[in-house]
């Protein structure tokens, strides 16, 4: 499956440059290679069978190419997945498995491991991370690697290449990364969204899922603009296109998890006729097991370059195609401030997940998800009120099983754990043995937990469902203490996820501050998770408690509110907060800290 033994990748010498050979290669024999990446995206396209979305551009790409139905990413979070993709290596083999690690302590790749852009350069290619991939269309040019690399790309657009040079380019679309946006031309009706068994049936859950699908339609429109640019420039039939997700959807049990919603991604490969290798048949569907690092190896093979022996990805198209594997693997480690270690092995029917920290709940604190996923907050509130039952309630259990075994054929939602079933003991033992073997063979660096965590996570704190990612929240005799250091790179804001029917609302806050402070109260709904509105409030400095009352209107359902403090060092306290329905005596919720 991969040509290496345990730790052998550390002993391989770097590949010598091949620029001279590449320079002699006829230009017409060198296809361009374009990777179009969709952030946080599962196979939710019409061509994959989702009847609620209209995705004509990607459907057409699939009709002209090959659509792969069993591609998984080796990590369910962006930096680890992209580190693997960029090298064709399991992130766990190169020490790139912890999410956004080494930002404050640079780390080089192991000897012999190179980025795919360096390998394309050696083949005579210009490499680009596109920032304006179509007229008027701006994207961020995301990299997000868990290793240090100087100049990973030559430029920011393929138009910057020298005359006659082929290009390798990436276009990174953030659309399906939160925050989601309604698709006004053909919005998905929340009532039509099929709910997986692990969700409670609640209007906010349905709306969140519908908004994700709406955003997929925005994605399709933008992909269509990139394809049109290629056609306008006469490059469409000179360019091999890979479209895929970097990992699965940013929804409950998706991103950061090893369930199918987190690791199963779309993959479409279109190869122009003149570059089609033997066995490639446009308009077909392929169900072989793939890992997203195979895209790296295959891209090199399609331009006539042998992937380095060290590379763990395999070639899956053409005469150099390696035999299809019986198993594929994925791994999750620390994501943001949430420490975890999970591994999984999957064949075409069965999946085995191993939780190495089973004493920790599924619902560990995570600022990003807890403040961005309204469906998760719905589940927390239903659980607290005793209204969460069935498969959704499993997520709120205080601990996890060490092993989870699922029959993906009969249980695609992965809610019926068969790990303790004597009837399935043979399947369990076979997968457990294979997973243990993979961990050893690939020298899984996750066997030692990261210590210390990156310094930025010291400022991600939570007390009683109040969150900040740039301050220090703590309990005190006076109430909730909010300390702002003035050092972080994010706004000094405390966010309170709370889901309730919107309308005319009133927030009453009992606060005191050591110094006079002007703050803002902000709020959002599922369709405007970035903020629907804000209102000013002021505190006089001193030891006396003050009541700040903020009236606001929220369309639809309230998903969160927040208190935004000014930059600089300060300390404030909150003794109590009440959320009311304005004009009535109805108290929606009260938070007491003293």
pLDDT-derived band at 12, boundaries 50, 70, 90? very low
In this model, does residue 358 exceed pLDDT 50?
yes
* Cα–Cα nearest to 15, from 88, 152, 112, 120: 112
Distance of alpha carbon 343 from the chain centroid:
17
Percent of the chain with pLDDT over 90: 89
> How, if at all, do strands 587-592 and 570-581 pair?
antiparallel
Residue 6 confidence (pLDDT) = 28
Percent of the chain with pLDDT over 70: 95
Q: Which tens digits make up the pLDDT trace of 310-347?
A: 999 999 999 899 999 999 999 999 999 999 999 999 99
More confident: 131 or 25: 131
Q: How many CA atoms lie within 13 A of 422 on its CB side?
A: 0
In this model, does residue 351 exceed pLDDT 70?
yes
* Mean pLDDT computed over 419-426: 98
Distance of alpha carbon 141 from the chain centroid:
16
In this model, does residue 284 exceed pLDDT 50?
yes
In this model, does residue 2 exceed pLDDT 70?
no
Helix-helix angle 203-232:56-64, to 10 degrees: 60
Q: Which two tokens stand for residue 557?
A: 């359902």
* Mean pLDDT computed over 280-303: 98
Q: Which two tokens stand for residue 379?
A: 């589940």
In this model, does residue 141 exceed pLDDT 50?
yes
Residue 296 confidence (pLDDT) = 98
Residue 116 confidence (pLDDT) = 98
Residue 487 confidence (pLDDT) = 86
Residue 455 confidence (pLDDT) = 84
Cα–Cα distance, 434 to 197 (Å, whole number): 29
Q: Which tens digits make up the pLDDT trace of 235-270?
A: 999 999 999 999 999 999 999 999 999 999 999 999
Sign of CA dihedral 161, 244, 259, 56: positive
This prediction's pTM: 0.93
| Structural domains of the chain sorted by starting position, each given as residue range(s) with its CATH number in brackets | 31-325 (3.40.720.10), 342-447 (3.30.1120), 460-592 (2.60.120.260)
Residue 103 confidence (pLDDT) = 67
Residue-by-residue DSSP string for 420-478: T-GGGHHHHHHHHHHHHHHHHHTT-GGGS--SSPPGGGGG-EEETTEEESSSEEEEETT
* Cα–Cα nearest to 448, from 92, 76, 99, 6: 92
Q: Which two tokens stand for residue 158?
A: 């393929």
Are 482 and 471 in contact by the 8 Å Cβ rule? The answer is: yes
Cα–Cα distance, 349 to 410 (Å, whole number): 9
- Among 5-9, 112-116, 469-473, 489-493, the range scoring the smallest mean pLDDT is 5-9
* pLDDT, averaged across the chain: 93
In this model, does residue 222 exceed pLDDT 90?
yes
* Mean pLDDT computed over 283-299: 98
pLDDT-derived band at 120, boundaries 50, 70, 90? very high
Measuring CA to CA, how many Å separate 372 from each of 448, 525, 556? 30, 10, 17
Residue 381 confidence (pLDDT) = 98
Q: Which tens digits make up the pLDDT trace of 16-45?
A: 333 343 444 344 479 999 999 999 999 999
């Amino acid at each position: 499956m991969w040509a290496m033994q345990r730790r052998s990748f550390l002993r391989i010498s770097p590949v010598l440059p091949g620029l001279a050979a590449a320079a002699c290669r006829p230009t017409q024999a060198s296809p361009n290679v374009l990777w179009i990446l969709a952030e946080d995206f599962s196979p939710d396209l019409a061509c994959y069978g989702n009847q609620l979305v209209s995705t004509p551009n990607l459907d057409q790409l699939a009709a002209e190419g090959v659509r792969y139905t069993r591609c998984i990413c080796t990590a369910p979070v962006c930096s680890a997945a992209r580190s693997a993709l960029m090298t064709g290596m399991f992130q766990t083999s190169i020490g790139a498995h912890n999410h956004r690690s080494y930002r404050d302590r640079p780390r080089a790749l192991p000897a012999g491991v190179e980025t795919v852009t360096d390998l394309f350069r050696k083949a005579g290619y210009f490499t680009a991370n596109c920032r304006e991939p179509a007229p008027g269309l701006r994207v961020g040019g995301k990299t997000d690697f868990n290793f240090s690399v100087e100049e990973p790309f030559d430029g920011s657009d393929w138009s910057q290449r020298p005359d006659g040079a082929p290009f390798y380019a990436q276009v990174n679309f953030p659309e399906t990364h939160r925050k989601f946006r309604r698709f006004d031309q053909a919005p998905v009706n929340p009532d039509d969204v099929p709910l997986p068994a692990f969700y409670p049936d609640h209007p906010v859950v349905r709306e969140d899922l519908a908004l994700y699908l709406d955003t997929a339609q925005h994605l399709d429109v933008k992909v269509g603009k990139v394809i049109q640019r290629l056609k306008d420039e006469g490059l469409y039939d000179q360019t091999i296109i890979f479209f895929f997700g970097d990992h699965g959807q940013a929804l409950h049990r998706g991103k950061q998890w090893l369930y199918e919603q987190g690791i199963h991604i779309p993959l479409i490969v279109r190869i122009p006729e003149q570059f089609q290798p033997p066995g490639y048949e446009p308009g077909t569907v392929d169900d072989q097991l793939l890992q997203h690092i195979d895209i790296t190896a295959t891209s090199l093979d399609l331009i006539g370059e042998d992937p380095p022996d060290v590379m763990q990805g395999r070639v899956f198209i053409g005469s150099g195609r390696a035999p299809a594997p019986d198993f594929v693997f994925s791994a999750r480690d620390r994501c943001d401030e949430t420490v975890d270690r999970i591994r999984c092995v999957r064949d075409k029917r069965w999946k085995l997940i191993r939780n190495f920290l089973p004493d920790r709940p599924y619902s560990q604190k995570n600022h990003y998800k807890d403040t961005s996923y309204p469906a998760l907050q719905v589940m927390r509130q239903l659980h607290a009120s005793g209204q969460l039952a069935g498969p959704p309630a499993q997520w709120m259990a205080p601990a996890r099983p060490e092993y989870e075994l699922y029959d993906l054929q009969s249980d695609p939602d992965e809610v019926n754990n068969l790990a303790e079933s004597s009837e399935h003991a043979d399947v369990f033992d076979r997968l457990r043995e294979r997973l243990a073997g993979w961990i050893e063979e690939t020298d899984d660096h996750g066997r030692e937990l990261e210590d210390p965590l990156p310094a930025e996570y010291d400022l991600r704190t939570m007390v009683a469902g109040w969150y900040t990612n740039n301050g220090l929240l703590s309990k005190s005799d006076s109430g909730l203490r909010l300390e702002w250091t003035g050092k972080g790179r994010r706004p000094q804001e405390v966010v309170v996820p709370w889901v309730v029917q919107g309308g005319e609302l009133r927030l009453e806050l009992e606060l005191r501050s050591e110094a006079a402070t002007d703050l803002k109260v902000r709020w959002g709904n599922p369709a405007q998770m970035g903020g629907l509105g804000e209102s000013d409030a002021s505190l006089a400095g001193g030891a006396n408690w003050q009541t700040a009352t903020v009236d606001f209107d929220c369309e639809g359902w309230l998903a969160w509110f927040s208190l935004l403090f000014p930059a600089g060092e300060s300390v404030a306290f909150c003794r109590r907060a009440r959320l009311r329905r304005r004009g009535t005596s109805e108290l929606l919720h009260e938070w007491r800290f003293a």
